[in-house]
Structure 1
Amino acid sequence: MGGKRTVSAFVPPTLPADVQPADPEEISELQEALDGHRRALAESRVKLSETSDRLEAERRARTEAEELIASAQRAKSAYAAQIEDLTAQVTELRAAHQQRYDRERVQPRRIASAAREAIVERAQSPAPLNEVQARKKIDAMLRKSGWLIQSKAEANPRAGQGVAIEEFTLATGRADYVLYVDGKIVGVIEAKREGTALSGALAQNERYAAGVLKEHAMAVWRRDEPFAFRYASTGAETYFLNRVDPHARSREVFSFHRPETIAAWMKRADEEPDVPTFRAALRTSMPLLETHGLRMAQVDAITGLEGSLATDRPRALIQMATGAGKTFTAVTETYRLLRHAGARRVLFLVDRNNLGRQAHAEFDKYRTPDENRKLTDLYNVDMLGRSGLQDTSAVVISTIQRMYALLKGEELQDGQDGDEPEPKETPGEAPAAQEGAPPANASNLDETYTADEPITVEYNADVPIESFDVIVIDECHRSIYGLWRGVLDYFDAHLVGLTATPTRQTQGFFDHNMVAQYTYEQAVADGVNVDFDIVRLNTTIREDGGAKIEKGTTVRIPLPPGVRVADATPLCRQEAFAEAPPPGRSSVTGPVLS
């Protein structure tokens, strides 16, 4: 066919006249079938995706497992080599140890006497107390401290000022002892066998505090703190926690406090709720220091000490050069503690009689910075004497040996340690005693306390552990060690050490809490002390080979200035021997110390 065809318009075909309309039911069935196929397709796709992910995860896990196995094989090889190395070293050490053992078995090495005594002491020490034995010892400690002990069945809180009731029932358990003072529940004691950590026992007391039964609720002194005074003890070791203190910290004590002491604490807490305890007053009641009349070293010492006391550090050490005013610093701080912190009594402890007299003279001439009055007009400052501790004494001055005698219950004599003047000889009058013998009115401490081992003390009801709030220890590098340390461990008080030359042992005893340091060099630089020069002399004795003293010869050694043989304490005698002049020095005659 040739030519062109042109379409001018689209003409749809005509529907057949005999077409029937579709059946709705058939269409619905087809639609459901279609939806079913679609769901099957979607599920197939999901399963295919999960299968692919699982296969990928298995592949990654297999790879990681192979890497771990390889790493373990490498570590095993390294450890095997290390074990082989260590085995060789152990073999060498065993061989060396066996050789040393064989040598020492044939010729044993000598053991130092101190180490041998320590071994013997450990071997002879008794077995630790069990809880039943600890309870018996705690009972004895309570009775010595003035407490009545009663069973729960025979309880009578009004039988005395202080009553300790055993096996007291609480909602949270059974307390070993509950303490009543003036009919009020004030404290609790938890008894443990010796060797038990007492920190856990104090935590057990905390659990008791929330469990006072309703029948005893009216007898509680403080509803918010039923057991304000808490103890934990093994009979050999006792810890105390005073919950009246806003910042309470547990501390070790020698024994239990007396009921009258706890009653006084309760009275203060009721009357002064803002500063309920002495330790609280140390934090909040100390005013700014009046620095007029004080050297900067003294200001630093007092400020540092009060900062330590405010944080309840039990021990503090002040290093101050000789002649820089240690005693005046101690007197100033003592006045501030008495006046502003409410300290009941302060002990000034020395180890020589002349130092005690010097300290008393310093207290006697001290004038208060606020009222310009003599301190001794406001507070009683006493030397420890025949009458022992006086309730009226605010400051007690004593040698550590005399305090030990007081704790031992021995009768003290006035005189050298007291306020009486030393006896003087009159012309033409025979001496009261031979040279080197103690005067008739002096205590016999020199002859009595010359033991070769540290002293031990027992509880003395006339001198309870709470007798002093603060103890100032003069020349503490001499006093706190050797025979007399037990005296310091007896009292529940803050310890303040004064020294010009602290040793390592001294710093360790005071927990390395040196609150102020003023050395001799600083004192010289400030013009407080004067420097010195050393003069060396050569003598014929030194140049010709020295001198010899035959065994058994009595050597005359000078005592410190102002100290007589009768006044010299054992420590003073030891120091006199230690300071004997070397050969080549001119001989000095003096009293004979034998």
Structure 2
Amino acid sequence: MSNFEFLQSDWPEFIDDAQAVEKLVHFDPRGACGRARHLVEQVVLWMYEHDEDLELPYDTGLYNITNEMGFKKIIGYTVYEKIKVIRKVGNIALHDNKRVTEDDALRVCREVFHVMYWLYSTYTSDEEPKPELEFDPDKVPKVESASKESKKRLEELEANMQERADELRKLQQSLEEKDKALEQRNREIKQMRLQTRKYADNHDYNEAETRELLIDVMLRESGWDPAERNVREYEVSGMPNKSGTGYVDYVLWDDNGKPLALVEAKRTTRSYDEGQHQAKLYADCLENEFGVRPVIFMSNGYEIWIWDDEQYPPRSVLGFYTKDSLQKLFFQRANKESLKLAEVNKKITGRYYQVAAIRRVGERFQEGHRRALLVMATGTGKTRTAISITDMVLKKKWAKRVLFLADRNALVRQAYKSYAEHLPEVPIVNLVEEKNDDAARVVFSTYPTMLNQIENLEEGKRKFDPGHFDLVIIDEAHRSVYNKYQAIFDYFDSLLLGLTATPKEDVDHDTYNLFNAEQGNPTYAYGLEEAVGDGFLVPPKTISVLGKFLTEGIKYAELSEEEQKQYDDLLADDETGAVPDHIDPGKLNAWLFNEDTVEKVLKQLMEHGIKVEGGDRLGDTIMFAKNHKHAIFIKEVFDKNFPQYAGKFAQVIDNKIEQAQDLVEKFCLPDERPVIAISVDMMDTGIDAPDCVNLVFFKPVRSKAKFNQMIGRGTRLREDLFGPGSDKQHFLIFDYCGNFEFFEQNPEGYETTSSASITAKIFEKRLVLTAKLKNEPYNRDDELQQYRTNLLDLLHQQVSSLERQSVQVRPKLKLVDKLSERAVWDHLQSQERKEIVRELAELIPANIDEDEMSRRFDLLMLTLQHEKMDGVLQQKKTKEVAIEFAEHLYSKKHIPAVKKVLPSVEKAISEEFWTSPKVTSLEEIRQQLRELMHLIERKSRAPVYTDFEDEFSEIEIDDA
């Protein structure tokens, strides 16, 4: 008897392999798991060959073909997880030297049974599948029952496996020749699948056991082998029950035979804390037996919690610690010293406030807090303070490895150099420029680089486990960073130190929350006014000059006759000849560049800017430009007006300039060129340039945090700048865009919120649309209800296809798994939809193979569908954009692809269509035209260069 006899009628080609898996379970567990993987691969290829809804991708590896959206949609989440487990354990069996046990093989065999049952129930020619079929472990042959004949048969099966695989590949290659013969069979197969869907799938797929297998896989990701002796179901004594014994789900052992950690596994329907007390009792028993207290992990499959109950309360982590990380934790437990009275290296940080900041961070960590936030004005030594804190936690054995994160390569490089200078004995590595060095004690990286490092698996393992770093330092901690890279802070289970120059009253609420601090109460704060008062920074003086064009724009009526002629020539519309009456000030330096305006700004800078070298040379200056074209224009005007400097005095520094970092470093050195750095964003933050004495704000700034950062470029001290004993006392700010006036009227500024991606917006539009379509009167329209079903199918497919191993998806797995059941989508409530958008919308990947304009058109047409249902279509101008797109396509009707959908294009430009279009008609237009959007040239306003005479107010110097 075999568990797989139900395959005999429809799939005799699979029954031999399935029964071989069964027979090898106790005889050869590794072979059973390898054969199981091979069988599943053949089953999946069979589906691609026979199911016309599936198209075999170019890469036919098992991982790739099982992760195709269409395949996932057909098999559903439950069976997909089983296939994934079989693939992963099979890979371990085939490619890893770790032991595979009979228990592993038996569980994999059970998973194979469920997959084969699904194949049978989905594609069977039987009138109704048999839901009562269950896996029976007693049908799995024991070793002692394997006769010589059966062993010989197994050897024959092994020998023939490659031959059958070759035959299947040949069959796959000859598909084109057999298309006609297969066409009728494919229709029958699809009909079988549709027929079996009439019956509820009541088969018990035993998801709890699949979840247990996935915990095994996560342990293997961290280098543990659940199949090793005494790891699973380890017996302990001393439990407060009748027998006095208990069985620990998993024990993770040190090389010396003592337990490093235990894992308490709970069902997915239970939260971690339900097993917390039991886990503690197990830890007590292990401690009594071995004399060491293990770390406690608790997992229900969705979440993993770590509880080092000698130091901290339980906290969520995204993976299990490796043996190295657990050994490190044990070492720190036994050897770390108090941080409260730790000696501060005065050679690195000797100022009183730096010492106070370091002490306060040490006290906070010593008190059991795991996060700290330092608010320190630019120029007061944030990086040095971080270096001293690093020095402290390394010496006091609180940390073995430290990660320093910044948002730009230049800031990473600058921090790297500072650490190399002040901690020369500590091995360090810059991941932006070098490969990781396992010996490095301090690792430097940008956020995107580190996110890539933790997302990618190498040979089934992550480069860094959650316990790899003991302290993570965030340079310039603010909302935009953690909005985008929260996954990094969630992944690493470390102490967290945030550094920011934003005044504590301007630090946003979310930043305080990230560091578990009260609003307005960071771990330590030292502001600009205090630093100036103490003589550690210099204050700014402002020159606020209002240019007429920059504040009011350019008015045609106010130009001279000659200027009006130039205006007509440059700004007339190519098609209509119309000339605008007024150019908005926001357009100036965006696409309209007026030479006289720039000349006047440069003249005032050269005349009134702070000079050095006895007044013979302008002091170092940063000019903040609006964009790259603006910066280039400024340099061209400067070189034209000051040819004596041979093009070296002023240089553009932004990310479009090759070797821009070299220019930054030269600017920061004394007596180096350039003297005027024309910057677009690159020098707004983090640049240490003590010689800088002039700042030119040639662009409007609306973020208070960024404004403070930009001012900070001039605050650093510089001894002997003007000669021996003549130090820098202040710096000048030339403000040509009314920034100081703006912040006087708007003290908080306008902080831009991070905009959702186009894909996330499309996802949200579709989800909200399904809610509207459920209401009266739309729920009585069959066509609209079919459209709603299609939308829900698509949304379900997108969520179900999220990459579960991603560190960004893993914290949301419980929600993802809930939504992997298609029926859940039919009855979503308002709060559930909000949760889905909040947690998952930004995780939906964009199709990188399609043109961005296609997605923009999707968003446009979905917006129109909402406007139609809300009754505001005629009042809004959105439809005019859609008409304009269609008109562009109509002008290209000679192109075959456009000609093919010309009726839809003509419909989209007709007035009659837009008087009262149906929602489904708008959707049809979207589907028909979206793939043609790449034919529409993107509008890009060509730069216009003018030379109109501008007017500026009188110069007045004020203390900022």
Range into which the TM-score falls when normalised by the shorter chain? 0.5 to 0.7
The alpha carbon displacement at 1:240 in A equals 1.0
Worse-matched range after superposition: 500-509 or 311-320: 500-509
The alpha carbon displacement at 1:305 in A equals 0.3
- Corresponding residue of 1:259: 323
Please say if 1:383 is aligned against 2:430: yes
Q: Secondary structure at the match of 1:322?
A: coil
Please say if 1:408 is aligned against 2:409: no
- Corresponding residue of 1:469: 470
CA deviation vs aligned residue, 1:170-218 (integer Å, no higher than 9, x gap): 534333223333333343211223464423322211222455xxxxxxx
- Alpha-carbon contact 1:480-1:488 (below 8 Å) kept: no
**What are the residue-to-residue correspondences of 1:304-315 with 2, within 5 Å?**
304-315=360-371
**What are the residue-to-residue correspondences of 1:113-512 with 2, within 5 Å?**
131-150=208-227, 156-157=229-230, 164-166=231-233, 168=235, 171-182=244-255, 183-194=257-268, 196-211=270-285, 223=289, 228-243=294-309, 245=310, 247-266=311-330, 268=331, 276=334, 278=336, 281-282=337-338, 287-289=342-344, 291=346, 294-341=350-397, 343-366=399-422, 375-376=423-424, 378-385=425-432, 388-409=435-456, 460-477=461-478, 480-501=481-502, 502-512=507-517
The alpha carbon displacement at 1:519 in A equals 1.4
Partner Cα separation in structure 1 for residue 288 and residue 654 of structure 2: 55
- Alpha-carbon contact 2:467-2:493 (below 8 Å) kept: yes
Letter in 1 for 2:509: R
Letter in 2 for 1:181: D
CA 1:340–1:359: 2 relative to 1, 3 Å: same
The alpha carbon displacement at 1:409 in A equals 3.2
Letter in 1 for 2:223: G
- Alpha-carbon contact 2:261-2:296 (below 8 Å) kept: yes
- Residue 544 of structure 2, aligned match among 532, 536, 539: 536
- Alpha-carbon contact 2:546-2:736 (below 8 Å) kept: no
Letter in 2 for 1:193: R
Q: Secondary structure at the match of 2:456?
A: coil
- Corresponding residue of 1:437: none
Partner Cα separation in structure 1 for residue 456 and residue 630 of structure 2: 34
CA 1:388–1:165: 2 relative to 1, 3 Å: farther
Letter in 2 for 1:361: K
- Corresponding residue of 1:564: 655
The alpha carbon displacement at 1:357 in A equals 1.4
CA 1:485–1:568: 2 relative to 1, 3 Å: farther
CA 1:524–1:146: 2 relative to 1, 3 Å: same
Q: Secondary structure at the match of 2:444?
A: strand
- Corresponding residue of 2:699: 581
Greater helix share, 1 or 2? 2
- Alpha-carbon contact 2:235-2:245 (below 8 Å) kept: no
- Residue 523 of structure 2, aligned match among 515, 524, 529: 515
The alpha carbon displacement at 1:230 in A equals 0.8
Partner Cα separation in structure 1 for residue 494 and residue 217 of structure 2: 23
Partner Cα separation in structure 2 for residue 232 and residue 489 of structure 1: 17
Partner Cα separation in structure 2 for residue 177 and residue 328 of structure 1: 44
Q: Which has the larger radius of gyration?
A: 1
Letter in 2 for 1:380: P
Partner Cα separation in structure 1 for residue 513 and residue 270 of structure 2: 25
Partner Cα separation in structure 1 for residue 537 and residue 301 of structure 2: 51
- Alpha-carbon contact 1:172-1:210 (below 8 Å) kept: no
CA deviation vs aligned residue, 1:376-408 (integer Å, no higher than 9, x gap): 1x2112211565332210111111111112223
- Alpha-carbon contact 1:146-1:258 (below 8 Å) kept: yes
Letter in 2 for 1:147: W
The alpha carbon displacement at 1:248 in A equals 4.1
Partner Cα separation in structure 1 for residue 660 and residue 208 of structure 2: 46
Partner Cα separation in structure 1 for residue 250 and residue 407 of structure 2: 40
Q: Secondary structure at the match of 1:564?
A: coil
Mark the runs of 5 or more structure 2 residues left unpaired by the alignment.
1-75, 79-205, 238-243, 556-583, 593-626, 633-650, 662-679, 686-696, 702-734, 738-942, 944-960
Letter in 1 for 2:355: V
The alpha carbon displacement at 1:166 in A equals 3.8
- Alpha-carbon contact 1:320-1:500 (below 8 Å) kept: yes
- Alpha-carbon contact 1:149-1:166 (below 8 Å) kept: no
CA deviation vs aligned residue, 1:395-432 (integer Å, no higher than 9, x gap): 11111111112223399xxxxxxxxxxxxxxxxxxxxx
Q: Secondary structure at the match of 2:484?
A: coil
Worse-matched range after superposition: 560-569 or 392-401: 560-569
Partner Cα separation in structure 2 for residue 406 and residue 572 of structure 1: 26
- Alpha-carbon contact 2:264-2:279 (below 8 Å) kept: yes
The alpha carbon displacement at 1:484 in A equals 1.4
- Alpha-carbon contact 1:353-1:399 (below 8 Å) kept: yes
The alpha carbon displacement at 1:460 in A equals 4.7
The alpha carbon displacement at 1:228 in A equals 1.4
- Corresponding residue of 1:547: 585
TM-score by length of structure 1 reads 0.55
CA 1:172–1:562: 2 relative to 1, 3 Å: farther
Q: Secondary structure at the match of 1:535?
A: strand
Worse-matched range after superposition: 382-391 or 336-345: 382-391
Partner Cα separation in structure 2 for residue 332 and residue 407 of structure 1: 27
Report the aligned-residue RMSD: 4.1
- Alpha-carbon contact 1:557-1:580 (below 8 Å) kept: no
Partner Cα separation in structure 2 for residue 496 and residue 359 of structure 1: 15
Partner Cα separation in structure 1 for residue 77 and residue 529 of structure 2: 51
TM-score by length of structure 2 reads 0.35
The alpha carbon displacement at 1:521 in A equals 1.8
Partner Cα separation in structure 2 for residue 348 and residue 304 of structure 1: 20
Identity across the alignment (%)? 28
- Corresponding residue of 2:906: none
Partner Cα separation in structure 2 for residue 200 and residue 558 of structure 1: 61
CA 1:325–1:561: 2 relative to 1, 3 Å: farther
Partner Cα separation in structure 2 for residue 330 and residue 530 of structure 1: 23
How many residues align? The count is: 376
Worse-matched range after superposition: 201-210 or 230-239: 201-210
CA 1:326–1:236: 2 relative to 1, 3 Å: same
The alpha carbon displacement at 1:539 in A equals 2.4
Letter in 2 for 1:289: V
CA 1:314–1:348: 2 relative to 1, 3 Å: same
Partner Cα separation in structure 2 for residue 324 and residue 126 of structure 1: 54
Partner Cα separation in structure 2 for residue 349 and residue 489 of structure 1: 14
Partner Cα separation in structure 2 for residue 355 and residue 362 of structure 1: 11
Partner Cα separation in structure 1 for residue 630 and residue 499 of structure 2: 27
